[in-house]
Amino acid sequence: MGVVNVTPDSFSDGGLWFAPDAAIAHGVDLLEQGADILDVGGESTRPGAERVSEEEELRRVIPVIRELSLSGARVSVDTMRASVAAQALDVGASIVNDVSGGVADPDMARVVADAGVPFVVMHWRGHSHTMQDRALYGDVVAEVCRELTARITDLCARGVGRHQLIVDPGFGFAKLPEHNWSLLAHLEAIQSLGQPVLIGTSRKAFLGRLGVPEGAQARPAAERDTATAATTVVAGLARVWGVRVHDVSSSIDALRVVTALEGA
């Protein structure tokens, strides 16, 4: 799953693809690198980010989703708003990826249920400006599994088919570095929930801390692709459903390593 950020303030690219034409061209480039799905989002969810209006989010993503879908791409819309998801599906998106797992907008379950499309349900404890205050766990793996199970139960009760649900443990969302590493080390626990698993470690801050002295500044996001590819190997060996990445080519190479190992 290749990331197409149609935002001026993304942590990973600083707005390089904010203009619609640039975002569309970037999506096409990711397809050429080997992406199976393009995940288009118009609202930054980095720690501390404030929400944009519904009108602005629609203005950003709908033209990009329409054009990429017309080009033959399989497109996922990355949104917490049911109205944005509905309009994105109308212009060609075929997956909804909601970092709130359907919590931020109570109408999201209805939209997804009516459309019958795959729905990515991420572990979430609140919006970006407060989420890191909630990174408190006794056993992060057990608690994430328990909270994702509760989301699955709630969504199914609201009419979403269990076969539609893909779970995401939410790396970097209300998680400290040690929480992220614990989750990555125990992907089998997330898979034990019985749903396909999406992993989104790409360029996250905990990777930028690797090899950096205590108190020093983390490596910038653009210098975290090698570490991201290493996590793709971990995810591939665990046979997860997918990885959501900014640099597709390096993760494709990482998965080729996994395939070669399995073939040997």
According to DSSP, the β-strands at 165-168 and 75-78 are unpaired
Q: Which of 43, 34, 70, 11 is nearest to 203 (CA)?
A: 11
**How many angstroms separate the CA atoms of 85 and 111, rounded?**
8
Place of tokens 């992060």: 140
Both tokens of 115, joined, read: 């459309």
- 139: number of Cβ within 10 Å: 10
**How many angstroms separate the CA atoms of 127 and 50, rounded?**
8
**How many angstroms separate the CA atoms of 219 and 168, rounded?**
25
Both tokens of 180, joined, read: 């992220």
Catalytic residue among 60, 66, 203, 204: 204
Q: Establish whether 244 is a catalytic residue.
A: yes
Q: Establish whether 175 is a catalytic residue.
A: no
Which amino acids are annotated catalytic?
Answer: 204, 244
